[in-house]
Amino acid sequence: MATMKDLRGDVSTWCPGCGHFSIMAGIQKAIIELGYEPHEFAIISGIGCSGKVSEYIRSNGFHSIHGRSVPVAQGVKMGNPDLKVIASGGDGDGYGIGLGHFVHASRRNIDMSYIVMDNSIYGLTKGQTSPRSEHGFATKSASTDNKEYPVDPVSTSIINGATFVAQGYSGNIKQLSGILKRAIEHRGFSHVNIFSPCVTFNKINTYDYYKENLIFVEEPFESRDEAVKSLRENKGLVTGILFEEHRDDYQTKLGIDFDMQSLESGKMDKELLHSIQKKFE
Ligand code: SF4
Ligand code: MG
C-alpha cells in the first residue's frame, strides 16, 4: 500500500503558509486511504502556482498549458480508462482562459475529477485580479479597485450538469479529505472548488476571513436549484458536498469502457470495436 513518502515528488517552491500545501496533502491522503498506488492515477495540471502539483505529487502526471488541464485530462481518461484521472489548477487558469472547457466538461460527464485551488488572485504572476477576485479588491492590475464581479464556479458546474459538485477549504483538512475521497470515487465529472489563501498577494481572502465567513453543510442539497439558492444567499461561501447524482458517464454512454489489456494485447473484441466505430459515424 502506498504511503505519503511514495507520493512525495520534488521540492516545493510554494510560499510558507500557502493554502495549496494542505490541498496537495489532502489529495495524497485521499489516494492513500482509497488504496491506490502511484501508477494507478494521473494528475494533470495547468499553469500557475497550483500547476506545480503535478510535479509535487509522485504519480503519472502532465504539466499542461494555461487553462487546458481539463481537456488534456479528458484525453488521458479516454486514452486509458483504467487510470483515475485528476485535473488540477487555479482559479485564474480554470475560470478564466479555461472556463469554456470547464463548462463543457460539466455537461459531458467524463469520469474524472477537477480540483481547483481557488485563491481569488493570480499568484504566480505576482498578484493580479483573477476571475474570482472580489468586486472592489485593489490589486496590481486594478490599482484603485476591481470593477468586475467574480465568477461563481460551483453554481456554474451545478447549472451545467456536473454530477458531483463540492466546495472545500484548505484550513479544514478533515472536511477536505472526506470531500476529496468522495470526489475521486464518484463515477462521472466531479468538481471541487477549494478556498486556498494566497498569503503573499491576497490580503482579503485570508485564513481569518474564511474562518469568519464560511458555512458548512453536512449533506448535499436535494436539488440543483436548492444548492444554487443557498450559494446565492451566502455569497458563494458554502462548503461541503453541495450536489451529487448518479447517471451514466461519457465513456459508458459511448460504450468504450473496455478492458485496456485486451486492447494492448490486440485481442480486443472485433464486434465491440465495430460498435464503437459506428457511434462515431
Ligand atoms: Fe501560494 Fe500565493 Fe505564494 Fe503562489 S504566491 S505559492 S499562491 S502564497
Ligand atoms: Mg489563483
56-78: b (≥16 Cβ within 10 Å) or e = bbbbbbebbebbbbbbbbbbbbb
Interval between CA 135 and ligand 1 midpoint (Å): 21
Judge if the beta carbon of residue 199 lies within 6 A of ligand 1. yes
What is the overall mean pLDDT for the chain?
Answer: 92
> What pLDDT does residue 253 have?
85
Cell of 223: 436539488
List the residue whose alpha carbon is closest to atom 1 of ligand 1: 18
pLDDT reported for residue 255: 75
Distance from the alpha carbon of residue 250 to the mean position of ligand 1, in angstroms: 35
Q: Looking at residue 219, what is its pLDDT?
A: 97
pLDDT reading at 3 higher than 60? yes
| Domain limits, CATH 3.40.50.970, in the chain | 4-247
Given this model, what pLDDT does residue 261 score? 47
Give percent above pLDDT 90 in the chain.
83
Distance CA 198, CA 127 (A): 9
Mutate to test the pocket of ligand 1, among 11, 12, 18 (most ligand atoms within 8 A of CB): 18
The 10s digit of each residue's pLDDT in 95-144 is 999 999 999 999 999 999 999 999 999 999 999 999 999 999 998 887 78
Atom of ligand 1 nearest to the CA of 123: 5
pLDDT at 263 exceeding the cut of 60: no
This prediction's pTM: 0.91
Q: Is 119's C-beta closer than 6 angstroms to any atom of ligand 1? A: yes
pLDDT exceeds cutoff 70 at 256: no
Name the class of domain 4-247: alpha beta
